[in-house]
Amino acid sequence: MDFLRPASWEEALAAKAEHPTAVPIAGGTDVMVEINFDHRRPEYLMDLTRIGDLYEWEVGQDTVRLGASVPYASIMEHLRTELPGLALASHTVASPQIRNRGGVGGNLGTASPAGDAHPALLAAGAEVEVESVRGSRRIPVDDFYTGVKRNALAPDELIRAVHIDKADGPQQYSKVGTRNAMVIAVCAFGLALHPVTRTVRTGVGSAAPTPVRAEAAEDFLNAALEEGGFWDNGKTITPSVAKQFADLCAAACNPIDDVRGTASYRRHAVGVMARRTLTWTWESYRGARRTTEGAA
């Protein structure tokens, strides 16, 4: 095994072009487990922790450009307002030790259906900035996950940053596991209200071969909210609408039975989380609306 230690992003791209099999390592929270257990013996291990740019973030007008290696601990601490869904998801990642090392770039690189960041990224709306010596491109996160632990990266590409839409409304994240820390999701659910576009977006984790959006559920809910004038009148969402939304979210799952849970449990739990996160976010939207109107 060779240990590559690029000092800059350009050097990293050149090294990846020369050695497409090189495995990038930043926080190491996935890669080192595989090496420790002898599940993987990469020919080249490429350390990205010297590249400072990957640890930086910029808050722009509409999006946050989050460097691939920004640790979850920093997201929780600094980006709770701009990226509430991702901050909540970050807080459910493993333990403080892991959150100090791991970041969203690694979650995307591994592309496990159980990765904690994915449902939040799908719900918020995000693009993955990837680059190789051939050039840079942005992949919508919806198109990024291509299979179980597979993603849209070409062999010579590296993940540089994620551009995540800043929250324009309440966001929530929910995860099912056996305890509060050190848990790989049995399943997870992210939901974001987008009052500006009057849409709702979802993200479902660990309940299909890849992280997915429950698009039929979103379409149904968008139509129901529009029809009932909910965005304007700020009424409580009718239980029948919430139930139908939950059922459609459960139907979007294509889960398996495994050691963490059965397929039918996952479907059920996703439905429960969908209903709860919808209620939480909608109540929060109504509260904010009342405050704004009261002030006006």
Partner 1 sequence: MRVHFTVNGRPQQADDVWEGESLLYVLRERLGLPGSKNACEQGECGSCTVRLDGVPVCSCLVAAGQAEGREVVTVEGLADHARQRARATGDGSSGTSLDEAKGWQAHGADSRTGEGAELSPVQQAFIDAGAVQCGFCTPGLLVAADEMLERNPSPSDADIREALSGNLCRCTGYEKIMDAVRLAAARQSEGV
Nearer to partner 1, 89 or 204 (CB): 89
The identity of residue 177, as a single letter, is: G
Cα Rg of the chain (Å, integer) = 20
Q: Whole-number minimum distance, CB 46 to partner 1, in Å?
A: 10
Sign of the C-alpha dihedral computed for residues 279, 284, 288 and 294 taken in this order? positive
Q: Whole-number minimum distance, CB 176 to partner 1, in Å?
A: 17
Residues that bind partner 1 (CB under 8 A): 1-3, 5, 25, 27-29, 31-33, 35-37, 41-42, 45, 47, 49, 94-98, 100-101, 180-182
**DSSP-assigned states of every residue in 229-291:** THHHH-PPPPHHHHHHHHHHHHHT-----BTTB-HHHHHHHHHHHHHHHHHHHHHHHHHHHHH
Q: Whole-number minimum distance, CB 61 to partner 1, in Å?
A: 32
- The answer to whether the CB of 93 falls within 8 A of the CB of 99 is yes
Nearer to partner 1, 29 or 202 (CB): 29
Pick from 114, 53, 47, 102: nearest CA to 74: 102
Q: Whole-number minimum distance, CB 23 to partner 1, in Å?
A: 10
The identity of residue 116, as a single letter, is: D
Nearer to partner 1, 181 or 196 (CB): 181
Q: Whole-number minimum distance, CB 258 to partner 1, in Å?
A: 17
The identity of residue 267, as a single letter, is: R
Nearer to partner 1, 31 or 221 (CB): 31
Q: Whole-number minimum distance, CB 76 to partner 1, in Å?
A: 11
Q: Alpha helices of the chain — where are they, by DSSP H?
A: 9-18, 31-36, 72-78, 84-91, 96-99, 104-110, 117-124, 141-144, 215-227, 230-233, 239-251, 263-295
Nearer to partner 1, 31 or 123 (CB): 31
Nearer to partner 1, 94 or 263 (CB): 94
